[in-house]
Amino acid sequence: MKLLSAPLHARVAAQLLRGAAASALLLALAATARAESAPIVLTGADRRPATSLNGEWGSIADPYFSGLFSFHHVEKKNGWFLNYKAKPGDPFPTEYNFATAPKLKVPGDWNTQRESLLYYEGPMWYERDFTYEPKAHTHIFLHVGAANYRSWFWVNGQKVCEHEGGFTAINCDVTQAVHAGANFVVAAVDNTRLEDGVPGLETDWWNYGGLTREVSLIEVPESFIDQYDLHLKRGEGSEIEGWVHVMDGQPGAKVEVEIPELGAQQSAETGSDGRAAVHFSVKGLERWSPETPKLYKVMLRAGQDSVDELMGFRTVEARGTEILLNGKPIFLRGVAVHAEAPYRTGRAYSDKDAETLLGWAREMGCNYVRLAHYPHDETMLRAADRMGVLVWSENPVYWALGFDNPKVLAKAEQQLDEEINTSRNHAAIILWSMANETPNNAARTQFIETLATRARALDATRLITAALLVRAEGHTKIVDDPLGEALDVVGVNEYIGWYEGRPESADTTEWKIAYEKPVVVSEFGGGAKAGLHGSENERWTEEFQANIYRHQLPMLNKIPQLRGMSPWVLMDFRSPNRPLAGIQDEYNRKGLISEQGQKKQAFYVLQKAYKEGTIGKAD
């Protein structure tokens, strides 16, 4: 979508406004073209001092997107937004007034906050007032943890940026838009599913719309650290390497990195690209692992800017069919997790949400989670760092996309860039996943191979994976998808006992895998309604689900290169694809725990296997 040019806006606005109000709007519209810029990526944005804009925002559902003068390149003379903020006595149509509009809580999806919005897909307007005192010689960013799916932002009537993608952070430069005293911010968020979107038209999770993660103002010096990458070099030594990038700095600017607890300090200078390479040895480093999730305070300095991080240091690599963490083989005892909030449902966003979900995984004996099917937010990743839970982080290339469409590839690349550049310093993340359950064809393979190459260029310290579909010949499951060539770790999804055969069909199933690489069974399982009991042969009962696990685990344990598993799924979550009344009620019921925290029998089957070490190679 494109907005009309400022002069055309002005002509339309002049028909609606008179006198001083018109003059103020004309000035704001003229500034719009100057103020708007593309969002930037900030690594560790949550480590910056911030002014929170969380809380209640005025909201207006706008299914025709009438709030913009131009939509799909069609002029709308009855458009009502663009610097409009109704006040008593203003000559505006009273049906559009943020002051009297219903409130929505931010962060949060709109679907679960108001019954009438549960199924709503379309544009929603948000507005909030705030008071601010900007400092001289600073950049000010409007930081939005995520807004699903397309979003546009204005501050004091000036458009400051727009973004596509529902699961990565947005940082709009609002330096020229804010002023001392009273300000207001307006956001338009549209969760309409798109044929050329990433993900596309159909997913198996609820399309939660809104400002789903935290919103704040972040203030940094004129020259500031925007991205950094520090990691432990692979090998037996204790060498930390990486880089720090300084935005709007001069070549030769001094950068300092210090880890006080280790008595380590390193200085470097930026090159013409603004990046300073860092490499130094440390003594007494305790490597991060699920058993000892040690985090160090890391101080980054560049001119007037500073960032105090909390980071763990570990290595991960694939060697033959092994996954090595800190040089030693590890088996990933895991479970898949959606960003669905326990108990209240809706999109997860808080520390409590993250600690509850990962706490359940830890209780079950997990050392790893697959965070499906999109990047989860900083609260989840920080919790994983603290709690010692390894992470598979996934780009939302899901099911069938327009794999032959360069526009779709560009969107997937953008979201991958944002995912990696935002989250690269979390020790918990060991796997970047490129996709889930995509069709096997040449266009798809080239598309995802391109993403894998890009991911390695951005971050060569982690492993690349994807969740592949498998095919069957009789009682043999065959993993030979050509995409496997591009992966370090081969992920496979299968549902014996649920979508095919009976649970006992697993007993006679053999596996043939074309790649001498580590294999992680990224999904398996079946559904059950918590509290529904009966025969182990009766679908939807807890007994049936538990029986699937009892047959699956011995079968999977016979795969020679099995190095991990993440059965589907930790907790029941909303999905419009699951309408079965009285059982699913628009929830995917494959959870080992219900959305209200009820543990099903299968939870205990998996817990026993994990804690007794009867599944996978011992680590």
Q: Encode pLDDT of 219-262 as tens digits.
A: 999 999 999 999 999 987 799 999 999 999 999 999 999 999 99
User: Of 243, 240, 218, 221, which Cα lies nearest the Cα of 231?
Assistant: 240
66 — pLDDT class (breaks 50, 70, 90): confident
**Section 592-604 average pLDDT:** 98
Confidence label for 418 from pLDDT (cuts 50, 70 and 90): very high
Burial class (CB in 10 A: 0-12, 13-18, 19+), 442: exposed
So where are the chain's domains? 6-219, 235-312, 317-612
Contact 111, 208 (CB under 8 A): yes
* Distance from the Cα of residue 455 to its chain's centroid: 16
Residues 235-312, CATH architecture: Sandwich (2.60)
Of all residues in the chain, what percent carry a pLDDT higher than 90?
A: 86
Assess whether pLDDT exceeds 50 at residue 6.
no
Predicted pLDDT at 84: 52
- Cα distances (Å, whole numbers) of residue 335 to 332, 363, 368, 556, 565: 9, 12, 7, 15, 7
Across the chain, what does the average pLDDT equal? 91
Rounded CA separation 293/67 (Å)? 49
pLDDT digits (tens, 9 = 90+) for 364-396: 999 999 999 999 999 999 999 999 999 999 999
For tokens 């899901």, what's the residue?
398
CATH number among 3.40.50.150, 3.30.70.80, 1.10.260.40, 3.20.20.80, domain 317-612: 3.20.20.80
Tens of pLDDT, residue by residue over 188-222, are 999 999 999 999 999 999 999 999 999 999 999 99
pLDDT score for 77: 43
Find the mean pLDDT for residues 576-592.
98
Whole-number Å distance between alpha carbons of 255 and 126: 39
- pTM score, whole prediction: 0.92
DSSP single-letter state for residue 24: H
d(Cα 57, Cα 128) in Å, to the nearest integer?
5
Assess whether pLDDT exceeds 50 at residue 73: no
Q: Is 70 exceeded by the pLDDT of residue 29?
A: no
Mean pLDDT across 548-577: 98
pLDDT digits (tens, 9 = 90+) for 268-307: 999 999 999 999 999 999 999 999 999 999 999 999 999 9
**What mean pLDDT is predicted for residues 325-354?**
98
E strands, 206-321, are 210-211, 215-221, 224-232, 239-247, 254-259, 264-269, 275-281, 296-302, 305-311, 316-319
pLDDT at 83 (0 to 100)? 43
CA distance 158 to 495: 51
**Does residue 16 carry a pLDDT above 90?**
no
Tell me what pLDDT residue 36 has.
74
The larger pLDDT score, comparing residue 11 to residue 82, is at 82
Whether residue 183 has pLDDT greater than 80 = yes
Residue 495, pLDDT score? 98
Q: pLDDT confidence of 80, banded at 50, 70, 90?
A: low
For residue 344 the two structure tokens come to: 């209240």
- What are the tens digits of pLDDT across the range 36-50? 778 999 999 999 999
Average pLDDT over residues 78-96: 54
More confident residue, 104 or 92: 104
Q: How confident is the model at residue 75 (pLDDT cuts 50, 70, 90)?
A: very low
Confidence of residue 91 (pLDDT cuts 50, 70, 90): low
Residue 507: the pLDDT is: 98
Look at residue 279 in the predicted model and tell me its pLDDT.
96
pLDDT of residue 24: 37
The confidence score (pLDDT) of residue 81 equals 61
Task: Indicate if the pLDDT at residue 264 is higher than 90.
Answer: yes
Asked whether 579 and 531 are in contact (CB, 8 A), the reply is no
Residue whose token pair is 């999804």: 493
**Domain 6-219, CATH among 3.20.20.110, 2.60.120.260, 3.50.50.60, 3.40.50.300:** 2.60.120.260
Residue 582 CB contacts under 8 Å (≥ 6 apart), including other chains: none
Q: Is the pLDDT score of 34 beyond 60?
A: no
The predicted structure's pLDDT at residue 97 = 80
Give the pLDDT band (50/70/90) at residue 157: confident
